[in-house]
Amino acid sequence: MRIGILQPGYLPWLGFFEQMRKSDVFVIYDDVQYDKESWRNRNRIKTANGIQWLTVPVMVSLETHPLVYEVKIDNKTNWRKKHLFSIRQNYSKAPYFKKYIATFEEAYLKEWECLADIDMYFILRLAECLGMENKKIIKSSTLNAIGGRIERLINICKLFNADTFYEGAAGKNYIDDTQFLRHGIKVEFQDYKHPAYKQLYGDFVPYLSVIDLLFNHGEESLAILLNEKTVEG
């Protein structure tokens, strides 16, 4: 049993969904401290004028050390209208725009209170768009796992009888895999090779939200994401 444990992100990048696809169980790690300089509330799309950030405004006092699922959205500005406009404007000529735009229109009609909720909505819907609608996806806040930073990860692995923990590359900076091995758990670190694919607006730009891939390649997106299908960039 291989498990992936990853904090939620807003319209996540390709590597997020590669971890999901290669995990038997995928845990959204939403009960850890919120990091303001992170991907929890933002991501990037490609436009005719270069990269554009889509950022969800949040109300955060870092002095209170909020957990990810506690972070509230600042709805005083109409950010939802701006995000939908940007997606429509920059992907309306993409081959699969009409196939997927309803997912975003539906999402941005609602006034979301918590950042984690809209993150989770898009994670689930984008997983469906990629053909992973049957993936077992669970929020860590429902698991009541206890312990310090590493101990909690080990305990989550144990809850699902996982013998392999598929961790992101950044985990190499703080995870000592010998601690996991003592509990019979092997740690595999992601070594993601970002594929090049045909995009709008000139030269290929990597590390965008997965929506860029979906709008451009539709049903082939998962195979491209997994480097199982090569397309001209």
pTM of the prediction? 0.95
- Mind listing the pLDDT tens digit for each residue in 15-63? 999 999 999 999 999 999 999 889 999 999 999 999 999 999 999 876 7
Phi first, then psi: give them for residue 212, nearest 5 degrees: -65, -45
Helix axes 14-21, 115-129, angle to 10 degrees: 70
Residue 83 CB partners (closer than 8 Å, separation 6+):
54, 56, 104, 108
12: number of Cβ within 10 Å = 23
- Average pLDDT in the chain: 95
Alpha helices in the chain (DSSP H): 14-21, 79-91, 97-109, 115-129, 149-159, 177-181, 210-217, 221-225
The distance of Cα 209 from the centroid of its chain, to the nearest Å, equals 8
**Cβ contact 136:26 at 8 Å:** yes
Taking the alpha carbons of 203, 206, 208, 213 in that order, is the dihedral positive or negative? positive
Parse the chain into domains and list their residue ranges.
Answer: 2-225
Can you give the pLDDT of all 233 residues of the chain as single tens digits?
A: 999 999 999 999 999 999 999 999 999 999 999 998 899 999 999 999 999 999 999 998 767 889 999 999 999 999 999 999 999 999 999 999 999 999 999 999 999 999 999 999 999 999 999 999 999 999 999 998 998 889 999 999 999 999 999 999 988 888 988 999 999 999 999 999 999 999 999 999 999 999 999 999 999 999 999 999 777 65
Rounded to the nearest 5 percent, the helix, strand and coil shares of the chain are 40, 20, 40
- Mind listing the pLDDT tens digit for each residue in 143-160? 989 988 899 999 999 999
Phi-psi region of 50 (alpha: psi -120 to 50; beta: other; left: phi over 0): left
Query: How far lies 21's CA from each of 41, 132, 205, 222, in Å?
Result: 22, 7, 23, 9
